Copies of this chain bind each other. A is one copy, B any other.
């Protein structure tokens, strides 16, 4: 096991000072041709690589970015991570992923853990508990320490920072309009409690589309589950309790499951019941029938988040100007609606 070689080792071997070695490796003007060649050759030979930690300590930059998300076993978040990773990697940054698992406490602990020098900035999506609790002190604290934060998807208005979201209200609107256009009038909505920012916005869009089309908003056709967790029981009994000819769901799992329930009831998709979900994941593509969805463009979102964060990290200025990027959702039409 040949352990890593340091500047000191090279200096000792070549009988020059550490500073000379450091400068020689950076091709400094100060150092003579001869010495530079000698040092560089030696370094190459022994495969010298500077120690990242030492460099981080010196210039107070880690080239790491922290990503805190509620869940990773979720198509949308993985696409975001992929987008972040791509952009960050191209810029020489590493991505540290932490999972809050929808828990406020874990979110706080993770952030504290990373905020002590491990990272240059945060990209995050709030846990449901945090959104419900409306306690954002952990965010305020890291920002006060001068650590930039970019919030994506699940955001809050109570914190002033860069944000990237999709226009969820528009997404809900587009989806509902689509169903209405197909002649559907009894549109059910399966969503979560309003504390989840995205669900709330999607619900608003849904409502707006109904009203714009002169339709009544029938609250009994709206099922609000406590979280994004699947609850087959409640969805089943919800469908038993209402009349419906279309279903809009805030994720693809609810939607695919709704299709199954509809099929079990002997209903035809999309003629008897049309279904639209959110998240353009594998499930939507390969479900039978395939599912029409509102695509959230996670990868794009990740890229933009990473770009905004790295811009902040690398900008010298102390200006506190924040922006919110709003991406447009798009409808991916498949077989669960009439096309």
Contacts and interface: CB of A to CB of B under 8 A. Distances in A.
A53 B49 contact: no
Contacts of A110: 89
Nearest to A320: B1
28 contacts: A1-B146, A4-B116, A4-B117, A52-B116, A52-B118, A53-B57, A53-B118, A72-B72, A72-B78, A72-B82, A73-B75, A73-B79, A73-B82, A81-B97, A82-B99, A85-B98, A85-B99, A89-B99, A92-B113, A95-B97, A96-B97, A97-B97, A253-B286, A256-B286, A260-B286, A282-B282, A286-B287, A287-B287
Given A1-B318, A282-B283, 13 more contacts: A1-B146, A3-B146, A49-B116, A50-B116, A52-B118, A53-B53, A53-B56, A64-B118, A78-B78, A89-B98, A95-B98, A263-B288, A283-B283
Interface in A142-179: 144-146
A73 B281 CA distance: 9
A125 interface: no
Interface string A72-94: 11110011011001100100101
A117 B54 contact: yes
Contacts of A253: 282, 286
A289 B97 CA distance: 35
- When all copies of this chain in the complex are counted, the total is 2
Interface residues of A, number: 57
Nearest to A53: B117
Nearest to A298: B73
